Structure 1
Amino acid sequence: MALLEIKNLGISFGGLRAVDNFSITIEKGQLYGLIGPNGAGKTTIFNLLTGVYKPNTGTILLDGENITGKKTVEINRTGIARTFQNIRLFKELTVLDNVKTGLHNHYSYGTVTGILRLPKYFKVEKEMDERAVELLNVFGLEGEKDILASNLPYGKQRKLEIARALATSPKLLLLDEPAAGMNPNETSELMDTIRFVRDNFDMTILLIEHDMKLVSGICERLTVLNFGQVLTQGKTADVLNDPEVIKAYLGE
């Protein structure tokens, strides 16, 4: 069953058609890749999916619900979370508190309760701490929960960003170049982490990535974008061996 259905999505900026007639269907539990040369429109599509931009044309259905044009907060609550090419952690907060920021959609208490530190405040904070530590355990970060996020090594900051996204309990996780800046060992660990997240969190994952080793190693299907339009779609091995895809990447 399809979790994400995008039909004829399009957006223009100052007369430039950045994304044109983009359509894609992603099944529940699928690990799907969106690839293409720099400037092809991949991040623009992520911004459309998360409400940063509003499309000029087309529809976005998440688990059958039309989320086209909704605000970012509404879309997150509906079930989409993302990471960014340039890591966006709260670097002056602890590792634990970074994850807790993603939990506030599901745990809450009133302003007065927080100011007066009423019993519900301590109960909810304890529950959030426990859930945050559970997520950190998944990524091997529980031992660093009390240090500042800025003091984590780069690869662990990437993992923390994914943990924080998972804290919102999404149906669809968008990963924007998760291997950017990683060395080969870190990339290999990341591949294992992404597979684990998909398999153990009942997660559907759509990722943008330029590292073809990662793409070929974990993605089941691919869509290739070029100049804002779909160049081809299909099984990963077939797409990566398509002469048109090779031409788009090599510029021949």
Structure 2
Amino acid sequence: MNLLEVNALGISFGGLKAVDNFHVSVKKNELYGLIGPNGAGKTTIFNLLTGVYKPNSGEILLNGKNLVGKSCIKINHEGVARTFQNIRLFNKLSVLDNVKAGYFESQKYSFLDGIFCLPNYFKKEKAMDELAIDLLSVFHLEDLANESAGNLPYGKQRKLEIARALSTNPSLLLLDEPAAGMNPSETEELMETIRLVRDRFDMTVLLIEHDMKLVSGICDRLTVLNFGQVLAEGETAEVLHDEKVIKAYLGE
């Protein structure tokens, strides 16, 4: 069963087609990669999937429901969460509070509850604390719960961003170059983290990545994008040995 179906997706900026007739089908619980040279349109596609941009054409179906035209918040509520190439944490907030931010929708309390510290406020805060600590423990970050997010080492910040995305209870997790800026040992650890997320949370993951070791190591299938169009798609090993793909990356 396909969790995500994207058909004939397109968008233009000033007459330039940034994405043209893009399509992809991602199965439930699949680790799927979207790769391509710089400027191929990968992040633009993520922005289309999450409602940052509205496409000029095409449809985006999540569990059969069309997301086109919905706001970023509504798309998140439908079950899509993402991380960014440039980490976007609340650096001055604690690790715990970064994750709690994702739980406010499901554990929200009224304005008056918060102002007057009524019993429901303490009840909901306690519930969010427990949920956040449980989630942080999956990433071995529970001992750092009271640290400022901005003080964490780079690799742990990446983990925290993934944890915060998961706190919104998505069915589809979009990872935008999660290995960017990592050294080889951090990348190996990240690969294990992504596998754990998929298995532990029954998660479907669509990721953009330039690190071919990570891509070949964890992705079940790939789509290669070039100049906004699908260049190749299929099983990971097959796609990575496609002559068209090699030429696009090497510029031959």
TM-score by length of 2: 1.00
2:211 counterpart of 1:211? yes
| Residue 74 of structure 1: how far off its partner (Å) | 0.2
| Residue 106 of structure 1: how far off its partner (Å) | 1.0
Give the partner amino acid of 1:8. Answer: A
Aligned to 1:136: 136
2:196 counterpart of 1:196? yes
Distance 1:226 1:104 in 2: 39
2:194 counterpart of 1:161? no
Deviations 1:203-232 (A, max 9, x none): 000000000000000000000000000001
Aligned to 1:8: 8
Give the alignment of 1:46-195 within 5 angstroms: 46-195=46-195
Aligned to 2:17: 17
Distance 1:140 1:128 in 2: 18
Q: Conserved in 2, the CA contact under 8 Å of 1:77 and 1:105?
A: no
The count of aligned residue pairs is: 252
SS at match of 1:102: helix
| Residue 105 of structure 1: how far off its partner (Å) | 2.0
| Residue 104 of structure 1: how far off its partner (Å) | 1.4
Distance 2:14 2:229 in 1: 18
| Residue 90 of structure 1: how far off its partner (Å) | 0.3
Distance 1:8 1:115 in 2: 49
Distance 1:188 1:45 in 2: 26
* Most deviating of 100-109 and 242-251: 100-109
Aligned to 1:227: 227
| Residue 48 of structure 1: how far off its partner (Å) | 0.2
Give the partner amino acid of 1:117. Answer: C
Structure 1 residue ranges (4+ consecutive) displaced by more than 4 angstroms after TM superposition: none
SS at match of 2:169: coil
Deviations 1:6-36 (A, max 9, x none): 0000000000000000011001000000000
SS at match of 2:233: strand
Q: Quote the sequence identity (%).
A: 71
Distance 2:152 2:237 in 1: 35
TM-score by length of 1: 1.00
Distance 1:83 1:213 in 2: 20
Distance 2:106 2:163 in 1: 15
Distance 1:198 1:147 in 2: 27
SS at match of 2:105: coil
Distance 2:180 2:231 in 1: 24
Distance 2:69 2:56 in 1: 9
Q: Conserved in 2, the CA contact under 8 Å of 1:21 and 1:229?
A: yes
Distance 2:9 2:232 in 1: 16
